[in-house]
Homo-oligomer: A and B are copies of this chain.
Amino acid sequence: MKVANAYSADCPTRQILDRVGDKWAVLILLLVRDEPMRFNALRRAIEGISQKMLSQVLKSLERDGLIRRRAIATVPVTVEYSITPLGTTLAGAVDPLRDWAESNLKEVLNAQRRYDAQRKQVAA
């Protein structure tokens, strides 16, 4: 039995994992899933993202067919980003992860505290 091997550099899965790994991409995806949003609305919604990063990530999400960009001829021009069907399925696959995070964050933080406390003793 041949198993898809995500551990070789050219594995498809790894490419997608890298995309999801993108710090901002998932955040944007989940936001535009709820409702189409404009550039500056996204920027305000996502605390800490720079304009450069937002612009960059939006572009690559559009390239991947996960979101759609639509410029509207108003003054000043507004641009609306919305999720595609493909993007919706990805967002769905991310949900379990978000749920896990919400359920288990406390446990992770506890583990970190335990680990740090131990290291501190060793150092002392």
Give A contacts to B, CB under 8 Å.
4, 6-9, 12-18, 20-23, 26-27, 30-31, 45-48, 62-66, 86, 89-90, 92-94, 96-102, 104-105, 107-108, 110-112, 114-116
A97, B97: Cβ atoms closer than 8 Å: yes
A26 CB → nearest B CB, Å: 6
A7-B46, A20-B21, A63-B115 known; 4 other A-B pairs, CB under 8 Å?
A18-B23, A65-B115, A89-B104, A96-B97
Residues of B within 8 A of A90 (CB): 100, 104
A27 touching B6, Cβ below 8 Å: yes
Copies of chain A in the complex: 2
The answer to whether B17 touches A97, judged by C-beta atoms less than 8 angstroms apart, is yes
Residue of B with least CB distance to A42: B7
Distance, CA A73 to CA B109, complexed state (A): 30
Chain B residues with CB under 8 A of A8: 47
Verify B47–A15 contact, CB threshold 8 A. Answer: no
Interface centre among A96, A108, A110, A111 (most CB of B within 10 A): A108
A104 CB contacts on chain B under 8 angstroms: 16, 86, 89-90
CA–CA, A62 and B111, complex, Å: 9
